Amino acid sequence: MKKKNIYVVGAVIVNDDMILCAQRGNTKTLSHKWEFPGGKVEQGETERAALKREIEEEMECHIEVGRQVDHTVYEYDFGIVHLTTFYCILIEGEPVLTEHQSIKWLHREELTTLDWAPADIPAVEKLANG
């Protein structure tokens, strides 16, 4: 059986040399795993537009989307995730917990201390070593 392709975007939100990390809730797929906040790209939407929309919906704040950090394809049991991450900066508001159970601001070298969702790990390693 062919697995579904799922296109998602993640925001590497940088503020004062710290990066925002978000922990998935216990009712979500990959519960308790850490990720860069974001979500699915809707039909006809650009990746950057999807990321802005998702952060506004999930975290009730506004971001400016910068250059791409990484693109990863990871096969889970529920489908094949195509994750594109982008550097972002907060331009209005502070992140609010609506979808996630926890958020943390960490320095690059601290990122690898968290239990990340597998699709996010290549971007985490790139950031931690960059």
Query: What would the pLDDT profile of 29-43 be if each residue is shown by its tens digit?
Result: 889 999 999 999 999
Average pLDDT over residues 94-118: 94
How many Cα atoms occupy the beta-carbon half-sphere of 128 within 13 Å?
A: 15
Q: Give the model's pLDDT for residue 118.
A: 95
DSSP tag of 116: B
pLDDT for residue 107 is more than 90: yes
Q: What is the pLDDT of residue 81?
A: 95
Strand partners, 33: none
Neighbouring residues of 66: CB distance < 8 A, sequence distance ≥ 6? 86, 87, 88, 89
Q: Does 1 have pLDDT greater than 80? A: no
In sequence order, what DSSP letters do the residues of 78-111 get, joined into one string?
TEEEEEEEEEEEEEES----SSEEEEEEE-GGGG
Q: In Å, how far from its chain's centre is CA 99?
A: 12
Is residue 18 within 8 Å of residue 110, measured between CB atoms? Answer: no
- Please report the pLDDT score of residue 28 as a whole number: 79
- pLDDT, tens digit, 9 for 90 and up, residues 50-87: 999 999 999 999 999 999 999 999 999 999 999 999 99
- DSSP single-letter state for residue 113: G
